[in-house]
Structure 1
């Protein structure tokens, strides 16, 4: 879900309410626009929801852009195995189950992004999917 910002508490409450209303346990978040010092930030929200984010970054004008994360319900928090920061644009979440589930949340560069940034993103994504997704296709 491209939230286009989650900086304000009312946006976070709205997202949790939607997840609760539609009984969604895991939501991948793109473009939350929250800048923080830590590689990963864990925030406990209402109704047992937890928001885990990588930091957004500042553009040349100083505006906060980007950032990926995941919103977990209380149920999903109980089966959370790990959260792995791959890059500011890529986050891997592993949930225990049968089978164990791996989710890769991404925020790809836009069509006006520098070609080197685009190439770097897709190289990192390819490397992550090869490393973490052990799926065989027939």
Structure 2
């Protein structure tokens, strides 16, 4: 499982990032290590749109390029759903945000693409 947590913290609430700190770090965490309140259910639901899932190779490439990045967190324009859909589809979509989705989708997608492009350039000889 992937989760976004406040940098330097060991345990976090089952939230995507720190709204108070305004930053979050993308990291890999096993789903059994995520602190979920007793009786809560985990629902993975990032396929409520018309995009086709990318190949496993493309998803891994995006994921690996973004791991350990510390990013500004914004509930409306750059949250964990934007990240998860970008990894899966190559487009940062958040269906939980009812308004202004196009602008936020384009900005979040571009941010993630820029990070990946920068890392691709720096690793080539």
TM-score, length-normalised on structure 2?
A: 0.34
Higher relative contact order (CA 8 A, sep 6+): 2
**More strand, by proportion:** 1
The structure in which a higher percent of residues are helix is 2
TM-score (norm 1): 0.31
Larger Rg belongs to: 1
